[in-house]
Amino acid sequence: MGMHTSICIIGVGGAGGRIVGHAAPAVLGAAHVAAVNTDARELDQARAPVKLQIGTARTGGLGTGGAPSAGRLAVDDDLPTLREIVADKDFVIVVAGLGGGTGSGALPAIVRAAADGGALTVAVVTMPFAFEGAKRQGVAREALRAVQEVADAVVVMANDRLAEATGEAGLKAAFDRADDLLGRSVSTLCNLIAQPGYIKLDFAKLQHMVQHCDGTCSLAFAEASGADRAAVAATGLMCGTLLEGGKLAAAAKAVLVGIVGGPDLAVREVGELMEAIQAGLAPDCNLCMGTHVHDERRDTIQVLMLVAESWSQASAAPAVEAPRSVKQPRSGGRSRQKQSQTTLGLQLPGRGRFRNVEPTLLDGEDLDTPTYQRRGLALET
């Protein structure tokens, strides 16, 4: 990789398109953001700079009707164009909601195309809500397994958890917030990896982290501005709902922190932030960090934290919502905090004892993966 990593974010299907739409405005530099869909109407609504309708001859632009095979074939139809999008990229993030036809069917094929083109690939996927039924769950699991085989790293998030994180909001608002949260996480991850930093957070660090955690991770994300923004962001992260008031961070084996700020980002602030985070970690915790400074990011600081710990499916319903300051108009001196956190499952070869033996597969399920994880059960601590 040269000075500039060339990077590409692709949203596949309806959910993927919405998420990259939220990510696109926040992505810095020359990263390419594209939405890919079989459904012309959904694609029309996606807010991505590049849009590609696939499988038009096959589906007539009406979508797949929930059939993953149609999604898979649609990729084959338009493979040359897709290859063009991912050509000469160092790093490709593919985002999709699994369970439907386009996301589940097309995602693995697109990731494969990117990997074949020589890029490092990360798939960020959401699993369907429980109420969507066993069939969609089955389709999603099948697709997850397929993408795990081809992607360098897979980040999995259950929609049920996103719903918990967004609380009692209305359906549209809840979806919007969930999409926004994933979008911001994706864009921050992308910025940290793609952009040069004084302390670089590169893919090797991410990969190391992901292997180290040997299973699942939590993700926390905080954004703050104003004079005491470092302290506000740190409090948001370490006292927030997802890390269970820092309990999860305290138990973490490895933590990765990425900070994105503007030219006004002070060394003191980074020090303050890291000190606050480290105070909440176990002494033997493996900590990786990276920063990126961008001219357009004046005033605000964004912090992304990946926490490798065992309680991946941690406490389903946090008892107390973290105090969230009332949203205020942007003004110089006052602090503004926006904080959102949720649990991510980093599904990597977290097979423990069964790492080097042939997996036990039955009806498309890897039985070596703990049942409670596959059933999405929450552990209490």
Partner 1 sequence: MANAPVVGLEIGTTKVIALVGELRDDGVIMITGIGERPSTGVRKGEIIDIENAALCVKSVLAMAEERSNVAIREVLLAVSGGHVQGLVNRGTVPVFDKDGEISREDLDEVMEVAKAVNLPPEREILHTISQYYYIDNDQRVINPEGMQGAQLSVDMLVIHGVRNRLNNTVRVVRNIPVDVHDVAASGLCSALSVLTAEQKKSGVVVIDLGGGKTDYVVYADGVVASAGVLGVGGDHVTNDIALGFSIPTAQAEVLKRESGSVNAKAAVRVPTVTLPAEGGFPGRTLAVRSLNLIMHARMDEVLAMIKRRLEKDDVLHQVGAGVVLTGGGAHMAGIVELAEAVFGLPCAIGKPRNVSGLAAAMSGPEYATVSGLVQYGFKTVKEQARPPLSGWLGRIFSR
Number of Cβ atoms within 10 Å of the Cβ of 375:
10
CB of 381 to partner 1, least distance (A): 6
Considering only the C-alpha atoms of the chain, give the largest distance between any 2 of them, rounded to a whole number of Å. Answer: 59
Minimum CB distance to partner 1, residue 379 (Å): 4
Angle at which helix 134-150 crosses helix 102-116, to 10 degrees, equals 0
Is 216 in contact with 347 (CB distance < 8 Å)?
A: yes
Q: Does 286 bind partner 1 (CB under 8 A)?
A: no
Does residue 145 touch partner 1 according to CB under 8 A? Answer: no
Is residue 321 a contact point for partner 1 (CB under 8 A)?
Answer: no
Query: Least distance in Å: CB of 254 to partner 1?
Result: 10
Using CB under 8 A, pick the residue from 309, 318, 338, 341 that binds partner 1.
Answer: 309
Q: Does 135 bind partner 1 (CB under 8 A)?
A: no
**Binding of residue 327 to partner 1 (CB under 8 A):** no
Return the closest-CA partner of residue 237 out of 198, 281, 182. 281
- Distance of closest approach, residue 224 Cβ to partner 1, in angstroms: 30
Query: Is 320 among the residues that bind partner 1 (CB under 8 A)?
Result: no
Q: For residue 224, how many other CB atoms are within 10 A of its CB?
A: 26
- For the bound state, the minimum distance from the C-beta of residue 380 to partner 1, rounded and expressed in Å, comes to 5
296 interacts with partner 1 by CB under 8 A: no
- Of 294, 290, 237, which is closest to residue 263 (Cα–Cα)? 294
Spatial CA neighbour of 151 closest among 218, 98, 229, 222 = 98
Site string for partner 1, 236-275 (x = CB under 8 A): ---------------x-x----------------------
Quick one: how far is CA 278 from the chain centroid? 23
Q: Say whether residue 215 binds partner 1 (CB under 8 A).
A: yes
Q: What are phi and psi of 2, to 5 degrees?
A: -85, -160
Residues 347-366 that bind partner 1 (CB under 8 A): 350-354, 356-357, 360, 362
Comparison of 167 and 359: residue with beta carbon closer to partner 1: 359
**Which residue, 284 or 296, is less far from partner 1 as judged by CB?**
284
State the nearest-atom distance from the C-beta of 240 to partner 1, in Å.
21
Q: How far is the CB of 361 from partner 1 (least distance, A)?
A: 9
Selection from 41, 47, 60 nearest residue 16 by Cα: 47
| Tokens 């049920």, located at residue | 160
3-class secondary-structure state, position 350: coil
C-alpha–C-alpha distance, residues 100 and 89, integer Å: 27
Binding site for partner 1 (CB under 8 A): 214-215, 251, 253, 282, 284, 309-311, 350-354, 356-357, 360, 362, 367-368, 370-373, 375, 377, 379-381
